[in-house]
Chain A
Amino acid sequence: MSEQVFNITDFQSIVENLQEKVRNTCFRYVRNAEDADDIAQDVFVQVYESMSRFREDAQLSTWVYRIAVNKSLDFLRSKKRKKRFGQLISLFKSVGDNEEIIEIPTYCTPEKELEDKERKEVLDWAISKLPDNQKTAIILSKYEGFSNKEIKEIMNMSLSAVEALIHRAKKNLHNALHDYFEKHI
């Protein structure tokens, strides 16, 4: 879509058509509805601003999802930096001032089955431990239902690389969950 053809009506239809998937993709990363909405709004602002640079040979939705993935990862990185800084600050505070930073979700008694909410927390924790590219591949594949071909376009890599990433992500998830349940059962 060229700059001349692109207008505000086009933009509105782009937002309306893609907002749901963009918001949900962002949500898979940040696990907070407000943050996800905030990032998704940023995504569309960037789409509006960069429309002239969009290559017609790529699919518009793929390009928008790529922006969403990058922005979500940027958000997580900046959150991690802030957390590290917070931990550094807490070193200089007295012990009583320290806020507990929960890394691993709590698990209920072995006799009781995990509720879905708790289990989701465990899965989110395991996903959060994955490297960024594996995390993106598994989120797009498993949560958002993108095909490997679509993921290849979004992540700008070969099909075999995407398949390998998903395979490694599943293996790493399995290992992380195994370690977790071994400690908690």
Chain B
Amino acid sequence: MSKKERIQKEIDKTLGLFEQHESLPPNPYFYTRVQQRLIEKLRKEYSFSTVLKPAFFTALIVLNLTTAIWYTTSDDLTNRSEENIELTDILKSDFNLDDDQTESLIFE
């Protein structure tokens, strides 16, 4: 038998395996496992919608409130620091203070 014929024989034998149906043995727990997966997935979705979602929105509201409070407070601080600068300028000119003395006055 020539090499070409042997190759063709091997190919035919190999392709002939398509006819031999090799099937998986039945799995009696298959439906139970699918159910478990569904329950697990629903539980995860439930925990997100009932616990995580409200927690996320509460955190968002708290963050908003904190930002609003901080914004209002920081506005006060800016006003106060502007007042302080004005006062320091007046004191500097009235008492003829140099920069170092003015600085120490600010820190005190």
Contact = CB atoms under 8 A, between A and B. Distances in A.
B45 to A, nearest CB: 10
B14 A41 contact: no
B27 to A, nearest CB: 6
Interface in B1-24: 3, 6-7, 10-11, 13-15, 17-18, 20-24
A146 interface: no
B37 A27 contact: no
Contacts of A159: none
A119 B17 contact: yes
A45 B31 CA distance: 11
Interface string A23-50: 1100100000100110011101100100
A119 B14 contact: yes
B31 A123 contact: no
B18 A44 contact: no
Contact of B34 (A20, A44, A116): A44
Interface stretch (A56-64, A128-136, A171-179): A171-179
Nearest to A174: B11
Contact of B10 (A20, A42, A114, A173): A114
Interface residues of A, number: 33
Given A182-B7, A185-B6, A173 B15 contact: yes
Nearest to A42: B37
A37 B34 contact: no
A142 interface: yes
Given A23-B30, A116-B20, 20 more contacts: A12-B31, A20-B26, A23-B27, A37-B24, A37-B30, A41-B34, A41-B37, A42-B37, A44-B34, A45-B37, A48-B38, A120-B17, A120-B22, A123-B18, A126-B14, A143-B18, A177-B11, A181-B6, A185-B3, A185-B6
18 contacts: A19-B30, A20-B24, A23-B24, A40-B30, A41-B34, A41-B37, A114-B10, A114-B14, A120-B22, A122-B14, A143-B18, A174-B11, A177-B10, A181-B7, A182-B3, A182-B7, A185-B3, A185-B10
The 3 closest A-B pairs by CB, nearest first: A142-B18, A181-B7, A44-B34
Interface of A: 12, 15-16, 19-20, 23-24, 27, 33, 36-37, 40-42, 44-45, 48, 114, 116, 119-120, 122-123, 126, 142-143, 173-174, 177-178, 181-182, 185
